[in-house]
Amino acid sequence: MLGALPFIVITLLVFQDWPPLRRWDLSVAGEVAEYGASHPDVVHFWQVVAAITVPWSARAIIAIIAFYLWHRRARVLTIWLLVTAGAELGLVQATKAIFERPRPAQMLVEIDGWSYVSAHAAAAFVLAGALGVVLPSVRGWRRRFRLLVTLPTIAVVWIVSVDRIMLDAHYVSDVLGGWALGLAILTATSIGFGLRPGLRRRRRRTPIDHDGASVPTRAAVIVNPIKVGDGVAFRRKVNRALALRGFDDPLWLETQQDDAGNAMAKRAIENESDLVLVAGGDGTVRVVCAALAYTGIPVGVIPAGTGNLLARNLHIPLDLDDALERILDGRDRRIDLVKVHGDGLDTDRFAVMAGLGLDAAIISDAPPQLKAQIGWTAYLVSAAKNINHPSVRVRICLDDDEPVERRVRTIVVGNVGMLQANIPLLPDARPDDGLLDVVMIAPRRVTQWPLVFWRVMTRTKRTEMYLERFTGRKVEITAAVDVQRQLDGDGVGPGRYLAAEVEPGCLVVRVPKRR
């Protein structure tokens, strides 16, 4: 409301014909027209400026910055920028159409359309506010860098606004209304997306030992360099965020092609780390979490992969910057892991889901290059390719119950329940309930898949022959033939046997605070 108040006040004053404002508008417009008539070279200069600073130039710059941020995996900031630019375009046009204010009678250029508000001023203000104020503050740029960005963007706003007045294309109040509308848009979108520009975190006090000496807090950062786009910028950002919170220089560890994080997690344990941050895909997260089970060391998941299922289910933002801030200022939570073994597999753990059948085939067949380009939607391509994946006869034994036999397309054992796009595959699954949730999906024909999808999306708990759910503490699955298997989105090869058992509360994770 405070952000919108200046625009409301200026709009009321303009269309109530407040005498002082009206006299000011007419006086400036008259003086500019008289000056322009005797100085055609000056008018030509401002026409050139107008051609360069059209509103679409500002919107194009925002789109380019948004594309760059998307490439850097700053998804929340990308969407915020695009929504802000879209709101500016839509609200400017709506305002013009609603009020239909004629332009000054003595314009020095020929321009169609209505005068209030100035689209040039509004677009320039949004560009300056987004790129010169909000974005640098949210991303934690140093003060001198923020200044280097802020000053030029403010200069652009002034140049664009003066150009509108010097060409007599707008009244002064049109320009002020454009600024006020830009302020209202920036305020609304920034608050709506939870951005907090200008706030600086207080440095936390360094812990004190019994002898009164300071004990620096240690952190380790395990990174999959393939998944994290700009490694140098990411490292600088993490170091700065940790330093602001009283951490010592962190131990940086990169995963290798033949080790997704096991040796790195052991190094973090030997380092006596107080916090381990892991930035990578679900495979890296799974390996690190498995190694840190029962250690009591909190794990902070910074999503950088294709699925990021553990982060999604722990309500960690998928934007790298936002996730880092929310984790470091978050709380510790104990969750379960699941111990798993099978034929041809060493005993291992997973944190999200294990699968046998169609889901594992989809994961195994998703092209890595396509996943890198379009993210988790690459799985949709693989799903279409495997839509006719054959069913298989399996025997399932939950806890100490009698085994049951089914012919299924896929079986998923979950510690959590949400897939990408918030698909509630296991709606009752909780990462800290000490239980496994099992779903068996068995449509007999391709035409039954839409009904299965509908049942999943509506969280139907009714047991049907093509969608059954179970819960227990351990489960054993034996297939009649070799089928593909997966752990947390990583294919682990075909086999016939998979056994899983929950390990309650064995992992501490750092999650955002409740709001």
CA angle 415, 419, 423 (to 5 degrees): 120
pLDDT computed for residue 194 by the predictor:
67
- HEC secondary structure over 415-431: CCCECHHHCECCCCCCC
pLDDT computed for residue 390 by the predictor:
85
Angle, helices 119-129 vs 55-71, to 10°: value is 30
Comparing 27 with 368, the larger pLDDT belongs to 27
Confidence of residue 206 (pLDDT cuts 50, 70, 90): very low
Are 336 and 434 a contacting pair, CB within 8 Å? yes
**What integer is the mean pLDDT of 132-153?**
72
Residue 316: pLDDT over 60: yes
Comparing 243 with 191, the larger pLDDT belongs to 243
Percent of the chain with pLDDT over 70: 89
**What integer is the mean pLDDT of 131-147?**
69
pLDDT computed for residue 198 by the predictor:
45
Residue 205: pLDDT over 50: no
Percent of the chain with pLDDT over 90: 48
Question: What are all long-range contacts of 431-434, with beta carbons under 8 Å and residues at least 24 apart?
Answer: 431/313, 431/314, 431/335, 431/336, 431/351, 432/333, 432/334, 432/335, 432/336, 432/504, 432/505, 433/336, 434/336, 434/473, 434/502, 434/504, 434/505
Per-residue exposure over 67-81, b if at least 16 CB sit within 10 Å of its own CB, e if not = eebeebbbbbbbbbb
Can you list the domains of the chain with their CATH numbers? 5-192 (no CATH), 219-337 (3.40.50.10330), 345-500 (2.60.200.40)
Confidence of residue 372 (pLDDT cuts 50, 70, 90): low
Residue 134 is given by DSSP the state I
pLDDT computed for residue 260 by the predictor:
87
pLDDT computed for residue 332 by the predictor:
94
Encode pLDDT of 341-360 as tens digits.
999 888 999 999 999 998 88
Burial of 401 (0-12, 13-18, 19+ CB in 10 A): exposed
Residue 401: pLDDT over 50: yes
Encode pLDDT of 38-68 as tens digits.
898 998 999 999 999 899 999 999 999 888 8
Residue 470: pLDDT over 70: yes
Comparing 72 with 293, the larger pLDDT belongs to 293
pLDDT computed for residue 385 by the predictor:
76
Confidence of residue 143 (pLDDT cuts 50, 70, 90): low
**What integer is the mean pLDDT of 94-120?**
90
Confidence of residue 434 (pLDDT cuts 50, 70, 90): very high
pLDDT computed for residue 301 by the predictor:
94
Average pLDDT over all residues of the chain: 86
Residue 210: pLDDT over 70: no
**What integer is the mean pLDDT of 397-415?**
92
pLDDT computed for residue 201 by the predictor:
41
